[in-house]
Structure 1
Amino acid sequence: MREISITSTIHSHYNRFTATEKKTADYILEHADAVVYMSITDLAEGCGVGEASIFRFCKALGFKGYQQFKIALAHSISADNEIPQLSGQVRIQDTLEDAVFKTLQSNINALNETFKLIQLDSINRAIDLLIQSDRFIFYGVGSSLMTAMEANNKFMRITNKTGCSVDSHQQAMSAALMSEKDVAIIISYSGSTKDSIEVAKKAKERGAAIIVITRFVKSPLTSYSDITLLCGANEGPLQGGSLSAKIAQLYLLDVLYVEYFKRTYEASIVNKENTSAAVAVKLF
């Protein structure tokens, strides 16, 4: 069911807003389509206000926080018959052929945008950190944990230095035991997931290097990162766990894998053959 219009709600409250809240309201009304995909940090910068001001603005409209506000906004701006929970502007009346094409286009766009955001210097430095480290551990929560597990599964075929914990308590304990010779690779689309931020904080306190794979340059998580790698997928607040975002993250991780393999070729090729042989007996 369609939620009450956020535009109408903002207009009805407008005369009671403070000057800062009016500044925020004006920006949102003008850029509603873009705000749905913004982090609270990005919106604060766009409005020229602080993050706390954005939070107070959401509270003034009756929302518990920014994420709840974005969910309501996504419902408000979705076109007639559009399904805001899906990517690619898929509509109820779309044919199967339409859905197939729009899904493909959404994934292609995510990969192309990620490619454009790649900074070769950041990739180079990330590879150097991984090669020089004693261990590198992948972290993630929710759908990002699935990506972290995929990355760990890929790297463990060529090195015994990798790891991944699937429980948030284990992740916290793992980060608390890291050293200056370790690297934490933290995957989070929003960069605002509390458990991931806590892992980054603990790893930083231990002197470990931190590589963050995320959508947003500035977020609570990237404030701890030594290297930030950006994925280009746009995920609305109702599209959590979208495969476009996962594909973009996996693309970056595949780039790291390929380059790591190249630079450690002699060891990696031997390890790859050994691990392949170890599982070959499991197949008919």
Structure 2
Amino acid sequence: MMPHLTPLEGRVVENILGRKNFDETTALKSVADDAGVSEAMIVKIAKKLGFSGFKDFRTGLVDYHNLPTAELHQELSPDDTGMEIAQKVFRTSIHALEETLSILDPEAFERAADLIFAAHQRDFYGIGGSAQIARDVAHKFLRIGVRASVFDDAHMMLMSASLLGEGDVAIGFSHSGATNAVIEPLELARQRGARTIVLTNYATSPIAQFADVVLCSTAVGSPLLGENAAARIAQLLICDAIFVAVAQRDLLAAERNLAATRNAVTLKRRSP
């Protein structure tokens, strides 16, 4: 939700998250005074974040801090050893996977697999790191004979979308969900009658309004590792699961094509 808060609201939330003495006895007035805003503002922000009020928000935050994984999002320190760095990075990703699985919408997952399986044409759109996820997914699908095209150029994406129609599917990969280069072709594809699927970290991001199906990762950004470091791994796992679900819809064909594509590259591997 952080990208959808105002600068003031964001600063208030950061202030609350940074408190070391936050527990069930923490008073609303204390939180408001520390953040330099009114008590009404704190309640407003809590409701905007999806809680019924301050007490509900406080309970949720206290419960979260009591989880054994709560320390996983600690930022890296100059004093960390190599192993401590590895542990923090790995644990952050593990946490992202656990949280992503917990919010995964079963109906959206099944519908995405159905649309991809039945589509005549499958076009994937992504920029930067999201394009790498799109390529990884397209590679997996090719192994089982499910062909997909990947576009990472703004003009090429729009050209692709303009040729889609009913029976086709366009999939947009965008961590922020606010990348115009991906939103615009997805909107055009939908206008042309194609079905649209979105993979993002924010369910309420702008790109979601142009999607028939929204699949969400959930990962806290890190100033050092980057905004989507852990989310990238979570999104790859979502795609891996969809790949298996699509293969399951025609297992015999998937196994036959998997054997064919594996045999095709066998000669490219050096013998022991």
TM exceeding 0.5: yes
> Does 1 or 2 have the higher relative contact order (CA < 8 Å, sep 6+)?
1
Render the CA deviation track for 1:73-97: whole Å, top value 9, x for unaligned: xxxxxxxxxxxxxx74111111112
Q: Which residue of structure 2 aligns with residue 128 of structure 1?
A: 114
1:28 matched to 2:14? The reply is: no
1:212 matched to 2:198? The reply is: yes
Q: Which residue of structure 2 aligns with residue 55 of structure 1?
A: none
Say if 1:112 and 1:232, in contact at 8 Å, map to a contact too: no
Render the CA deviation track for 1:227-267: whole Å, top value 9, x for unaligned: 10010222246654643121011010001001111111111
Q: Which residue of structure 2 aligns with residue 203 of structure 1?
A: 189
Which 10-residue stretch deviates more, 93-102 or 237-246?
237-246
What is the distance in 2 between the residues matched to 1:33 and 1:207? 46
Say if 1:123 and 1:256, in contact at 8 Å, map to a contact too: yes
Render the CA deviation track for 1:111-146: whole Å, top value 9, x for unaligned: 111101111111111111112211222211110001
What SS does structure 2 have at the residue aligned with 1:156? helix
TM-score (norm 1): 0.70
Pick from 217, 221, 224: which aligns with 2:207?
A: 221
What is the distance in 1 between the residues matched to 2:246 and 2:188? 26
Q: Which residue of structure 2 aligns with residue 70 of structure 1?
A: none
Listed as ranges, the matches of 1:158-177 within 5 Å are 158-177=144-163
Pick from 212, 234, 243: which aligns with 1:257?
A: 243
What SS does structure 1 have at the residue aligned with 2:269? coil
Name structure 2 gaps, 5 residues minimum. 18-43, 49-72
Render the CA deviation track for 1:142-193: whole Å, top value 9, x for unaligned: 1000110111111111124322123222122111111111111111110000
Say if 1:139 and 1:171, in contact at 8 Å, map to a contact too: yes
Residue identity matched to 1:166: D
Residue identity matched to 1:243: A
What SS does structure 1 have at the residue aligned with 2:131? helix
Overall identity of the aligned pairs, in %: 32
Paired residue total: 217
Pick from 268, 275, 280: which aligns with 2:261?
A: 275
Q: Supply the RMSD in Å over aligned alpha carbons.
A: 2.5
Which 10-residue stretch deviates more, 105-114 or 155-164?
155-164
Residue identity matched to 2:10: I
Given the superposition, is the C-alpha separation of residues 110 and 92 from structure 1 closer, same or farther in structure 2, using an over 3 Å criterion? same
Say if 1:138 and 1:151, in contact at 8 Å, map to a contact too: no
Say if 1:24 and 1:47, in contact at 8 Å, map to a contact too: no
Say if 2:96 and 2:230, in contact at 8 Å, map to a contact too: yes
What is the distance in 1 between the residues matched to 2:89 and 2:107? 32
What SS does structure 1 have at the residue aligned with 2:203? coil
Deviation at 1:206, TM superposition (A): 0.8
Name structure 1 gaps, 5 residues minimum. 1-22, 36-44, 50-86
Listed as ranges, the matches of 1:3-22 within 5 Å are none
Deviation at 1:26, TM superposition (A): 5.4
Residue identity matched to 1:32: E
Q: Which residue of structure 2 aligns with residue 93 of structure 1?
A: 79
What is the distance in 2 between the residues matched to 1:244 and 1:234? 8
TM-score (norm 2): 0.73
What SS does structure 2 have at the residue aligned with 1:233? coil
Given the superposition, is the C-alpha separation of residues 123 and 24 from structure 1 closer, same or farther in structure 2, using an over 3 Å criterion? closer
Residue identity matched to 1:27: E
